Structures are given as C-alpha cells and as structure tokens.
Amino acid sequence: MKLSIRSTTNLLSGKFGLLRRLSTTATPPQQWQENPIKINKVQLYSKLSEVGSTGQKVTDVLHNLTTDGFKLDNADLIFCLKKLRQYRRYNHCLEILDWMEKGSIHLRDHALRLNLIYNLKGIEEAELYFFDLPPEAKRPFIYGTLLNCYCSSKKPVKALALFRKMDEMNLVSSSLIFDNLMSLYMKIGQPEKVRTLVEEMKQRNIPLSNVSYHILLQSCGHLKDLWGLEQVMAEVEKHSFLKNDWKIYSSLATAYINLGEIEKAVSTLRKLEEILDYSNFLDRITYLHLISLSARTGNKDLVFQAWGKLKSKFMECHNRSYLIMLQALSKLDDIEGLKMVFAEWESRYKSYDIRLPNVLIHAYLMHGMLEAAELLFKETISRNVGQKLWYPHICFMNYYLERKQFDSALMHMEAAYSNGGKLSSDKLDSLFEHFVQEKDTCGAEKLCNMLKNVQALDSKSYLWLLQTYVAAGKEISGLRQRMEEEGINISSEHEELLSKIDRS
C-alpha cells in the first residue's frame, strides 16, 4: 500500500507528538507555537491540584501543557502555588518554583522559597537557606519572610533581634512587620503586648491593616476587655475599607462569645451574614466558620440559616461541610437535627468519611442512646473494612466508665489501643482508681501491660499499680527492679509504697 505525502506527514507529526507527550523533563521547552493557547488560572489550578491523586509529578503536568501549546503565565503559576500552599502541599509548591526557575520564566523568588522551606523542613533549614544567600539576594522582603518564620515557630528572642536589625536597616515601614509580632505574642500567651505594638505603629505613622485590627480584637477578647473591644470597633467603623471585612466581625463575635456577651455576638454574626450575602467573595470556609460560631451562641436558627445559605451558594456540599454542621448540631444537643443532616449526607456522599458517623456515635452515647450508637457503629465497620476505627471505641469506653461498667470500658479501651488510639490521663486515672477500690491487682497489671504495648509506663502509672497492691494487701517481688529497668524516677511516695509490698 502506498502512502501519500500528506498521510506520511500526518503519521510523522503524530509520532513526534506522542514523543513530546512521553517526555518528562523538568525543564519546560521554549514556546513552539506562534500563537500559544492561553489557559486561565482556574483551569491550571484544577490540573495541578489533581496531581496528588493521579500519581503524576507537577513537572509532568506543566511540561505537557507547554508541549501542547499552552502559554503559562508567571502570575497564574504563582496563584496556583499559593493556593496549593493553603492546603499545605509544600512539595508541589516547590516543584512549581523549581520548574519556573529552571525554565523560560526564570523566576528567582528567594522569599517564597524560604517560606516553603520553613513549612516543609522547619526553622533550622530556613535559617540555613537565608544565611547562605549572597548579600545582593537579601532584599528587604526576604527579611520580613524570615521574621514571619520566627514568629510562626514561636521564637520571640530571634524574632525581636531580627526586628531590631531590620529597624536599623530602615526596613520597618509596613504594618506586616508589626502584624507578625502581634501574632507571635498571641501564640505565646502574651496578648497584653499587642496594644503596645499598636501604639508604636501609631507613633511611627504606620497605618493599621485589616490583620492588625483582627489581632487587636482577638487580644481584647483574651484579656476580657469589653471596653477596649468596643473602642477598637468604634475605630474600625471610621475606616470604609474595614466595614465589610468578614474576618473583623468574626473576631468581634468570637470575643463577645468568650466574654459571655451572647446577644452582642448574635447581632455581630447577623452583620457578618449580611456581609457574606452581598459580597462577591465566595469561599465555603467563611460559611463553615459562621456555622461554628453560631453554634457557640446556642442559637439553632442562626446555625440552620447559615447552613441554608451555604447550600444555596455552592453547587455541592463536601464531606467537610457536613462534618462542621454535624459538630455544630452536636454542640447544640440537637439529636433530631443530627439525624436529619446525617441522613442527607448518607444519600449524597461520594466518599465515606468516618469522621461523620463518629460525631453521631458520640452524640448518641452522650444522650444514653446505646443501641442507636451500636447499630451505627456496626454499619460504619461494614463500610470501612480493614480500616482502624479507634475513636468510636473511645466514645464507648467513656460511656461505660461514667456508668462504672469497668469490664466493658476496659474491653473498648483495648480495642481503641489496638486500632491506634490513645487515652487521656484522666480516663486512665478512672480505671486505675477502680482497680484500687476493688483491690484488683490482676486488672491493674492487665491495664499496665496494655499501656506498655503503645507507650512506656510513667511514674504515675506505677504509683497507681503500687497503690493497688497495697490496697489488696499483697506482696510482690521484682517490682522495684521493673521500675529501675524502665527508667522510672522512684520518688519518696513510691518508696513508701514499695516498703509495704516489695519482697525482693
């Protein structure tokens, strides 16, 4: 069979097109079309966000797009990078940055790389990267990024030292620097220092930003300063750029709730809802935040109103949305509402999320609805074959502990541990206290052996064990040696108990 010149050309071009698609080099080629196709940032982000589930590399996706003739803009790539950073996909962010630096875009963003290194590898690696940079690369913004890293990692000494150095270099001219320090003080439990920083900003004629007011309101809430809170809001109302900032009203509502000013909190949340209704800014996180805050006020109508708005503004509700709503209804002790929303999720979910039935199981047991909880747990197990479901066992254990049914509590505790769960110390105390009262040394030893399978026994656990033996009037040999071998610090209290029971 003879092939025409045209058909031969088509075959060759198809072959080379295939070769281009199979190539996975990290360096993007020069644009090969005179009129490249533009891909918008939303489409680009959609393709890059799928990388985690498809098993591809970010560089593969970017290379294939450029090979297919798509033009990738610097700004769009940075948009995608920062979006992925919000979801802590720092490896993928670094891949994008590497691709941009190696390719035709030639971007060298040291500050962005420093931030990603900090989030991915920690403050020590971030410091090494900063100090290894040549002097000409240490531009003002990178100092601010390092300050942000120090503040995020709660390093007040290093943060303040860097701040003073930046001040000497005349680099302290924006609210961002002060916002970082204010955030640091909130993280380390020193909210009273926020006001001092705000006063310093005003003395330097540095305007407060949205974030500045946001943190200032938080500090007033933590300090239980109602007067200060309302003084700040009076100042906020004077600035038109702050009047429709939902985060400001979220912070105000949170502060009112913490102060017990529930009516003012409800009024603020209604204002927040109005802002969201008339805003072009659409993000389901804001509505989820509104639902959670509304639940804290105890206002069920406000919760369902926010839930209705969320469902009307977004085409579908993800598992997380249902989870937040169920947690809100659980806080409100609304069992019927929980059943209704859970049934709605069950009829629509795309992937089964164990966290949702966990909320309902916990709520059922809190209301003494043991049969309903057990039935739902059995259904959950049947849908999650092979998965370790430890949290429901913790819920059942707590249920039985409160009712002094210790055999059942111990059974669920063992199941929780075998599935990777851990217990709070107060729950362990309840079990140990029961064994002391019952003079049950076998039960106490069984509990200790269970704990050993997941963690080393501490001095408190051995104290309980010794008390159990003393209560039972039993002597035991080798217990001191066990404690010494496990590196337990034997206190005077331990010594006193050991003297009563140790036969060695």
Per-residue pLDDT of the chain (504 residues; tens, 9 = 90+): 434 433 433 433 343 343 333 334 444 444 434 455 767 788 888 888 877 666 678 887 888 888 877 778 778 888 888 888 888 888 888 888 888 877 655 456 788 889 889 998 899 999 999 999 988 888 888 999 999 999 999 999 999 999 999 999 999 989 999 999 999 999 999 999 999 999 999 999 999 999 999 999 999 999 999 999 999 999 998 888 887 888 899 999 999 999 999 999 999 999 999 888 887 666 788 999 999 999 999 999 999 999 999 999 888 888 999 999 999 999 999 999 999 999 999 999 988 999 999 999 999 999 999 999 999 999 999 988 667 789 999 999 999 988 989 889 889 988 988 888 777 777 788 888 989 999 999 988 888 888 887 777 888 889 999 999 999 999 888 888 888 888 888 999 999 999 888 776
Residues 3 and 103 in one domain: yes
Domain boundary among 64, 81, 108: 108
pLDDT of residue 53: 64
Domain boundary among 108, 124, 147: 108
Residue 154 domain-assigned (yes or no): no
By residue count, the chain amounts to: 504
Residues 372 and 433 in one domain: no
pLDDT of residue 65: 82
Residues 99 and 22 in one domain: yes
pLDDT of residue 321: 95
- Distance CA(104)–CA(371), nearest Å, equals 64
Residues 332 and 429 in one domain: no
Residues 442 and 357 in one domain: no
- Distance CA(99)–CA(96), nearest Å, equals 5
- Distance CA(126)–CA(136), nearest Å, equals 18
Residue 187 domain-assigned (yes or no): no
Q: What is the 8-class DSSP label of residue 71?
A: E
Residues 98 and 1 in one domain: yes
Domain holding 27, by residue range, is 1-108
Residues 9 and 93 in one domain: yes
Residue 379 domain-assigned (yes or no): yes
Residue 63 domain-assigned (yes or no): yes
Residues 10 and 84 in one domain: yes
Which of 350, 401, 352, 400 lies closest to 374, judged by CA? 400
* Cα dihedral 382→383→386→391 (10° resolution): -90
Residues 78 and 3 in one domain: yes
Q: Do residues 269 and 297 lie in contact, with contact meaning Cβ atoms separated by under 8 Å?
A: yes
- Beta-carbon contacts of residue 164 (< 8 Å; ≥ 6 apart): none
- With residues binned 3-state (H G I as helix, E B as strand, rest as coil), the percentages for the chain, rounded to 5, are 70, 0, 30
What is the number of structural domains in the chain? 3
pLDDT of residue 45: 83
Residue 417 domain-assigned (yes or no): no
Helix intervals (H) in 23-139: 41-49, 51-54, 58-67, 74-86, 90-102, 110-121, 123-132
Residue 35 domain-assigned (yes or no): yes
Domain boundary among 387, 415, 434: 387
pLDDT of residue 76: 84
Give the predicted TM-score (pTM) of the model: 0.74
Residues 356 and 439 in one domain: no
Helix intervals (H) in 282-424: 284-297, 300-313, 319-331, 335-346, 355-366, 370-383, 391-402, 406-418
Quick one: tokens of 42?
């939303």
Residues 88 and 15 in one domain: yes
Residues 443 and 347 in one domain: no
- Distance CA(24)–CA(169), nearest Å, equals 45
Residue 501 domain-assigned (yes or no): yes
Torsion-angle region of residue 448: left (phi > 0), alpha (psi -120 to 50) or beta? alpha
Q: Do residues 286 and 320 lie in contact, with contact meaning Cβ atoms separated by under 8 Å?
A: no
Residue 364 domain-assigned (yes or no): yes
